[in-house]
Amino acid sequence: MALLGTLKGFGVTEIFQLIAQQMKTGTLILTSPDSSVSLAFDNGIIEGIKSDRWEIDPRAEILIKGGFLLEKDYRTALENEKKNSHRWHDILIAQGKIKKTFLDRASNVVIKSILLEVFQWKEGNYRFEDWEVDTENILACHIPSEGIILDTLRVIDEWPMVKQKIPPVDYCPVTIMPLTEEIVKKHRLGAVDMHIYDLIDEKRSVEDIVRQSLEPPFEALSSIVRLLDSGLVEVFPQGTKEVRDSSIARRILLAKIKKVMVYVLLAVAAGSLYLAGEPRILKGIGIPEKITSCVRDQKELAADYAQREIMLLRLGTDTDNRLSASSRE
């Protein structure tokens, strides 16, 4: 039994949910004004996908643009594919020209990119045919429908915030400081973030990093934005190493100035407290002249009185001695 309708009346999200909940097997054909995408389901699980816009295997295109595969090797493998039953990627893997892990990662990029696109379609038609799936020229996968629904809706929701922070794609990100375990925990960096960080140097542009990461574009760009927001990375126009070095030197200088200023302020505060507690160490510095003169006069008067007292004491003693002598006589 076939299901038919328009995307205006029944959106892509609802169609996927229906297929997943009813664990349907068959082919879902989504058609927009610009393209058509077919998805193969087996008991509600996405088992394959293809688009009428693919002129060549999209995985090969991603691997070639990322520098993981030479175009001439791909063309040669396609010619050999026609002569035997082996697919082009199986031939290249057997020859050691590409790694299977790279092929799998390229498949993930293709599938997530095409699903992100169709989930945003607002116009077009859908048709679900619950008979044997046509697997010719289909990109095989195994993706639970409900999981991909949640993941794709998350990307659609976060994309506007990420988009406004993306630097020009021809700019080169450069690292400001090395990653440490403490930094990773502090900024909650994930595996994709650290993978993107490892690809950053003075030569690769934002576009190069996204292609060579073999991550879905949204994930790669989100990581670049996250690293920029964390202050671990900066971006400059290509070839401006001097600007980067100047920026790093400026950051180091400012950090040192801040550190010195902290010590200076602490020293000033400690000195102020000490002086406030022991005002006599000023020794007249900052005291008005009248007060200083008065204190000086008082000191001189006290010294004079002290001297006179000594003399009187001596005089008294001499008189007593003479009187004693007279009485004895």
Nearest to 175 by CA among 188, 160, 193: 193
Determine the pLDDT at residue 99.
94
Distance CA 206, CA 203 (A): 10
* DSSP state letters, 123-171: S-EEEEE-S----TT-EEEEEEHHHHHHHHHHHHHHHHHHHTTPPPTTE
Distance separating alpha carbons of residues 228 and 224, to the nearest angstrom: 6
CA distance 122 to 219: 24
Place of tokens 């670049």: 224
pLDDT at residue 189, rounded to an integer: 94
Q: Six-digit token pair at 246?
A: 């100047």
**Confidence class for position 112, pLDDT limits 50, 70, 90:** very high
The region of weakest confidence among 245-259, 289-303, 309-323 is 309-323
Q: How confident is the model at residue 93 (pLDDT cuts 50, 70, 90)?
A: very high
Residue 269 confidence (pLDDT) above 90? no
Mean pLDDT of 127-140: 78
pLDDT tens-digit series, residues 144-201: 888 888 999 999 999 999 999 999 999 999 999 899 999 999 999 999 999 999 999 8
Hey, which of 4-18, 209-223, 260-274 has the most confident mean pLDDT? 209-223
Residue 244: predicted pLDDT: 57
At 208-226, the pLDDT tens digits run 999 999 999 999 999 999 9
Where are the domains positioned within the chain?
3-69+112-158, 165-239, 243-281
pTM, to two decimals: 0.69
Which of 2-6, 197-201, 306-310 is the least confident region?
Answer: 306-310
The answer, yes or no, to whether residue 325 has pLDDT greater than 80, is no
Give the SS3 label for residue 23: coil
| pLDDT tens-digit map of 34-62 | 899 999 999 999 999 999 888 889 999 99
